Amino acid sequence: MRITPQIRAATVADAEMLTDLAARTFYDAFADMNKPQNMQAYMSKAFTVPQLIAELSDPQAKFLIAEVDGVAAGYAKLLPGNVPASVTGPNPIELVRLYVDRKFHGSGIGNDLMQACMEEARNLGHRSIYLGVWEHNHRAQSFYFRWNFRVVGSHIFQMGDDPQMDWLMEREL
């Protein structure tokens, strides 16, 4: 069923809600394919209120939250800078995260968030966008291919003690 969310910029006041949403969506996406100790090692650093406050306070970072009837259903994070050498598009920005709560999968919220990210990136003056996606995350890869991203390289994402291969994907805006 198609659901049209309200999409808004996140603020530091959203830190607790965003910490919960980020941890839950990350866990749902990857717990079945990773050792519990590796999930815990990563999540205990990445998804804490102080960490999210720091990220939300970064003037370069742009967080978008998708809400349905006032409930956070998904979020995305854009961040410029530190562009890998294999990303060659003009003036790129990284789509660091794009997650939708499992109960909203298939509702179109992921597409709405991606469209909002593209518009935000353009409004910030960027002309291309890139991301990293785990080589075993076929659901996400399919989504990004539908959005005309193409594989341009790879890098290691450290999940606890497990160095995992992420594909780097990009597209022009």
Read off the pLDDT of residues 62-80 as tens digits, 9 standing for 90 and up.
999 999 999 999 999 999 9
pLDDT at site 93: 98
pLDDT above 90 as % of the chain:
96
User: What's the confidence (pLDDT) of residue 2?
Assistant: 80
The answer to whether 126 and 173 have CB atoms below 8 angstroms apart is: yes
Which pLDDT score is estimated for 3? 84
pTM of the model: 0.95
Predicted local distance difference test score (pLDDT) of residue 25: 97
pLDDT of residue 119: 97
Domain boundaries, the chain: 6-130
pLDDT over 80 at 37, yes or no: yes
CATH number of this structure's domain 6-130, picked from the four choices 3.40.50.80, 3.30.230.70, 3.40.50.1970, 3.40.630.30: 3.40.630.30
Strand, helix or coil for residue 146: helix
Give the pLDDT mean for 150-159: 96
164 C-beta neighbours (distance < 10 Å), count: 19
Task: Sheet containing 71-79: give its strands across.
Answer: 6-9, 62-68, 71-79, 92-100, 128-134, 162-172, 150-159
